[in-house]
Amino acid sequence: MAYPGIWANSYGQMYQGAPGNNNNYAQPAQYPPSAQTPGQQAPIQANGQPEYGAQYYAAQGHYPNYHNNYYVSSTQPALTATSGSQVTYQLQEPPQEAMGEIKYTIDDTDRRRGGKKSKKREENGENEIDRVFIWDLDETIIIFHSLLTSSYAQRYGKDTNATLQLGLRMEELIFNLADNHLFFNDLEECDQVHCDDVAADDNGQDLANYNFQTDGFRTANAAGAICLGPGVRGGVDWMRKLAFRYRRIKELYDTFKDNIPELLSSPVGEAWRQLRTEIDQSTDNWCALALKALSVIHNRPGCVNIMVTTTQLVPAIAKCMLYELGPVFNIDNVYSATKIGKESCFERIIQRFGKNVTYVCIGDGREEEIAAKTHNVPFWPISTHNDLMALHQALELEYL
């Protein structure tokens, strides 16, 4: 059966309302959700369009401001949060008889134009990618900055001092890993957008017995001014040493991304295990919820996770390792927007995968939302545990 008010353009993007409606974003949701009984009519926004997610959460009355490109029918599952001091998030499965009524997903109407794949994409083995999910890091996948500012504790009624201490301990681990293993002392002023940005200067020399401490890189860097703005290159010898460091970072990431304690010393590894457990408990398993959605994408043929973060590249890589994100993010798919901004990072990603690919942006901040809108990419906002659970459910049901 066809659903009234749903249409799709030639790129497979699904819209609610009449074709030509340029309202790409629904109004922000209220938190906590207001009570609403099942079957109650979804709220109508000022523009006359029902808010995306209104029917999705009709049973509980929680209406996140999901992009209406992903408008779906009312047969999707609802999310609930049980009352009490400890918040517990639960999923309610849709009735089995209702599942047959769901006819349209983004896959069903995917009609991207064919075109010649770039030679670079074919060489990188990316010619089979047809859907790219661009993720923010802090406060989307992991809770870190809001621990340091106590905003997470205030929002969810946690002990502010306890969460602050967790944030400070994780910050120490991040910079210890970055400094002791990922050359951050050398690279802080020479940070790149992507690990391969200086790969052209790498001559392929065997680094098994290479001494990074005595190769003269740090002395030249401290002496000055070789590491200037983006695109400004230093001497050939110095650039080669810079490329060696990023190659070693990639090797360490690929070797230890599944077993970070093996890279850390024994006491530090144990401290990391304990800290991760405490952060997971304090944040009600926020990162675990994000990892469920990331894993669905990672395991789905033709899909890839890309990270764009305002954290500098080397600390961002350290965060990926310490929060165990390595299995779902190849290091080649991590970008730092510190120097060039997220809009420019999005442009690089689109150039890399091509315009015949479907892109989805997932984040919590205004910067990635603006970047997504600039490049006409659907934006899925994350602000609560329920948003992560709904994202996972939409991926599991193949609406995204």
* Residue that the structure tokens 């993007």 belong to: 13
**Cα of 87 vs its chain's centroid, Å:** 24
Residue 186 catalytic?
no
d(CA 146, CA 167): 8
Q: Are 311 and 138 in contact (CB under 8 A)?
A: yes
Residue 23 CB contacts under 8 Å (≥ 6 apart), including other chains: 17, 47, 49, 68
* Residue that the structure tokens 């809108």 belong to: 373
- Candidates 319, 312, 353; CA nearest to 336 is 312
12: alpha, beta or left, given left = phi > 0 and alpha = psi -120 to 50?
left
| Catalytic residue selected from 130, 136, 191, 237 | 136
The runs of H, that is alpha helices, within 208-265 are 217-223, 236-256, 260-263
**272-282 residues labelled b (16+ CB within 10 A) or e (exposed):** beebbebbeeb
The 8-class DSSP code of residue 59 comes to: T
What phi and psi values does residue 351 have, to the nearest 5 degrees?
Answer: -65, -35
Strand-strand pairing, 88-92 and 78-82: antiparallel
DSSP string across 192-216: -SSGGGGGGG------TT--TTSSS
d(CA 65, CA 71): 11
Strand-strand pairing, 78-82 and 14-16: unpaired
Q: Are 190 and 242 in contact (CB under 8 A)?
A: yes
* Residue that the structure tokens 């009234």 belong to: 4
Cis peptide before 32 (omega within 30 of 0): yes
d(CA 118, CA 354): 8
Residue 97 CB contacts under 8 Å (≥ 6 apart), including other chains: none
| Catalytic residue selected from 138, 191, 197, 202 | 138
Residue 138 catalytic?
yes
Catalytic residues: 136, 138
